[in-house]
Homo-oligomer: A and B are copies of this chain.
C-alpha cells in the first residue's frame, strides 16, 4: 500500500497539470454551442484512462456521451466490484465579468486551483483516476474490480443516465457506488454523507367565485379563497414547528443516539448560520438542532403563493382562486406515495365547504440512507481518517440527488457520498475553485478505500 501512496505523493505536480488540461474544455452541457467541446472532453478522458491502464470507451447517448472505463478484469477470480461515478460536464460560467480570470484558463493561487468545473466535478472524479493509476502503474494488485462511469449531462438533469444504467445493467452491477460530488464542512472535517432527503411536490388550488368579485358589492357574503387557503395552510404546522398532518411522521426512522452524537461534532454554529441566511432568528421543529432539522427531519415547505391582485396599489376584489406550491422534503423511511395520500386526505378533510379544493401531486422521490454503522460506511470512515489525518464526520444532506436512487433501483447498489468540496469552493458560481489539499487527500482516500472496503 505504501508504494501506492508514495506514487501519489510523487506525482502531484503532474496530476495537477493533467487536471488543468481537463479543465480547459468548456464542457458546458446546457449550452448547445459547446456540444463539440463535450465530445472533445470525453475523448480526452478516454485517452487518459487508457494511458493510465484502464479499458475505456465512449458510449454515445441521445445527449452528450458517457465515458466508461474499467480496470482490467482477471478472468480467474470474481472480485468485489465498485463503480465510481462522476461527470465531466460543467455549469455555464456566466456572468463572466465576475470571474477574476477566465473560467476555462485554470489558475493556481496558493493551494487553490481556479476554473469552472474544478470542484464540480472534474477535480473530484480525477482524484479517483489518480488513485487507480497509482495501483495500475505500480503493479499493486487492486483488491477489487472498478468501473468508472463519467457522464456529460449531470448539470442538465442526467436525462440519459438511467437508460444507460439499464442497458448496461449486467456489466455495471456492483457492490457499491462511490461518488465524490458533495461537500465537507471544512478542510479539517472530512465527511461521509450517508443520507439524502427525498421530495414530493404539491400544487393546491382553492376556488371560490367563478370570477374576481367586487369586494364592496359582494364582500362579506362569500368566502375569500385566499383567506381559506391561509387558514388551510396555517393549520398544517403547529407552534412547535411540527407538521400537523396525521400520519406524516409515521414512517420517519428516528435518529439514533450515534447519529445525533456525530452531528454534534460538526463544526456548525447557529449564530453564524443565522447571519449567513439573514434571518431574524432560526426556527424549526422543536427538539432538534438546526443541523438535524435541515437534513434529517421532513419539511412541508411553501415554495409559492398566488392569488388575486399583485400589482401596484390596491384592487378591491374577492379573488376567484388562490394557489400554493408546496414541496415536502422526506426522510428515511417515508414513502412518497403514502405521504401524498396523507396530505391529500387531510386537506380534503379540513378544507371548508365554501371553496373547491384541487390538488396536483407529483410522484416524488424517496429519501436515501446508507446506515453509518454498515460495513461500507465504516470502511469509508477509516479511509477518510487515514487519508486526511483527521477524525471524519458523518453528514446527512438535506437535498436530493436523484441519480443515487437510480443506482439503488437499477443496480441494487448503495452509494457512498465522499465529497471533497469546501463550502467556499463556489460551485455553480463565478471563481469556482478546488483545494489542492482536498485533491491530494481525496486521491489517498480513494486508494485506501478499495482496501478498507474489503476489511
Contact = CB atoms under 8 A, between A and B. Distances in A.
A279 interface: yes
Interface stretch (A7-15, A154-162, A186-194, A354-362): A354-362
Interface stretch (A33-41, A91-99, A281-289, A368-376): A281-289
Contact of A220 (B213, B310, B398, B400): B398
Interface residues of A, number: 79
B362 A314 contact: yes
A257 interface: no
Contact of A315 (B230, B304, B307): B304
Interface stretch (A75-83, A293-301, A404-412, A444-452): A293-301
Contact of A215 (B283, B301, B317): B301
Contacts of A354: 279-283
Contacts of A302: 224, 226-227, 230, 307-308, 319, 322
Given A210-B278, A319-B302, A216 B309 contact: no
A353 B280 CA distance: 7
Contact of A400 (B216, B232, B314): B216
Contacts of A219: 294, 299, 301, 329, 398
A306 B305 contact: yes
Interface stretch (A63-71, A233-241, A340-348): A233-241
B307 A304 contact: yes
B226 A283 contact: no
Interface in A189-244: 197, 199, 201, 203, 208-211, 213-224, 226-227, 229-235, 237
Interface of A: 197, 199, 201, 203, 208-211, 213-224, 226-227, 229-235, 237, 273, 277-285, 290-291, 293-295, 297-299, 301-310, 314-319, 322, 324-325, 327, 329, 352-356, 362, 397-400
